[in-house]
Amino acid sequence: MKHDPLFEQAFEVMQRIEEAGGEAYIAGGAVRDHVSGRAVGDIDIASSLPPSKIQEIFEKVIPVGIEHGTVIVRHRSTSYEVTTFRTESGYEDYRHPDEVTFVSDIRTDLARRDFTMNAMAMDRHGRIIDPFDGRKAIKHKQIRAVGNPYDRFQEDPLRMMRAVRFSSQLCFEVTGTTKEALVKQASLLANISMERVAEETRKTFAGQGIKNALGLLDETGLFHQLPFLEDMGLQKNPPLSPLKSWPEIAVFLCLQDSSFSVSAFLKTWKRSNQEKRETDQLKEAMNLYTDADDVTSWLAYCLPESLYSSFDRVTEAAGMDRGIKERLLDRKHHLPICDRKDLEFESVDLIALHPDKRKGPWISETMKAVERRVVEGVLENDYEKIKEWVITWNPPGNI
């Protein structure tokens, strides 16, 4: 199998570790993606050497999790997480092992991993170490736990959501005793922080196999651990395409149920203020779109361009329209103004027209009306013409 070009620099890191007397392998997701023919992302390296030795070998080392054997090595402007071979035992907090023991054998290290497809390693010559038949699982598109699935999920219940996420991202099926364990241990997910569950849930919605993943959540009872989502009937009416962010998910759910409380949903899932703002912007854009049943200049103007892709994904996922981003960009390209500050007529000009009128909401309301008419091409962005329109539209006695 041809090596991914991204591996070549990682091989250089591994070679230096070997020259220092250690063993080194690429491990985990990068090997899985390489074997399955998917694009490789971050590359993690497993090594027989302890963190102290890695720090001696390389000039730029960041001790991010040194107590658990993990450091980040910077090589050619790229970061590589290098972790010492280890075993783990005891998970009182359902996340961190109570005891980490460094070992010298890569196969022992791979035995602690979650799923067989993630329990493979590759040396710098491209040879695959696969003690748990990860390649077979990939060939048959199956998600199987390493060893006893009940133990794996007891150690870290988030692995159950990782199984769901992988079923969405890879379009694989959870099978056999691994699926049985999901059903019987679903309640353990309640021990995991909302933030960690939220990240796996977001990634689940972003996968091409979201329909199958939602079915899996329903079959296993994991839906019961996901606030709001279990009551939305998503297994029967899933998104028709991936949704990549929480604002996209929230607005999609709004389209499914008009009584859906966006604010309560985002608060429960502990989303950021930025995500709440983006949700409001997408929701308002959706209202403009449905009111006009079209992509209007005002919609393209009001919605930040950074959210065009998100809006496009929501409408496609809801089966409303496709290719909206291109239409938004075309509308934006032909807008007469890009921002209110581009108007030739300002608030001070409006106030000057009515020196005796008390300041109040009428100022922003009038300027908003001017802004929209200019954007829509009803009114030319010219001081005198806007002034004339304002006088006609809003004489002092009616303001």
pLDDT in tens, the chain (399 residues): 456 678 999 999 999 999 999 999 999 999 999 999 999 988 999 999 999 999 999 999 999 988 889 999 999 999 999 999 998 765 565 556 667 788 989 999 999 999 999 999 999 999 999 999 999 999 999 999 999 999 999 999 999 999 999 999 999 999 899 999 999 999 999 999 999 999 999 999 999 999 999 999 999 999 999 999 988 989 889 999 999 999 999 999 999 998 999 999 999 999 999 999 999 999 999 999 999 999 999 999 999 999 999 999 999 999 998 899 999 999 999 999 999 999 999 999 999 998 888 899 999 999 999 999 999 999 999 999 999 999 988 555 544
Q: 206, 243 in Cβ contact below 8 A?
A: yes
| The two three-digit tokens of residue 227, written as one number | 């606030």
- 39 burial via Cβ count (<10 Å: 0-12, 13-18, 19+): exposed
Task: Identify the pLDDT of residue 321.
Answer: 86
Q: What is the DSSP string of 231-249?
A: GTTTTTS--SS---SHHHH
Residue 4 CA, chain-centre distance (Å), reads 24
Q: Which of 315, 326, 329, 334 is nearest to 375 (CA)?
A: 334
CA-wise closest residue to 252 among 224, 210, 292 = 210
**Integer Cα distance of 110 and 228 in angstroms:** 37
| pLDDT for residue 97 | 60
Answer yes or no: are the C-beta atoms of 265 and 228 closer than 8 Å: yes
pLDDT at 399: 45
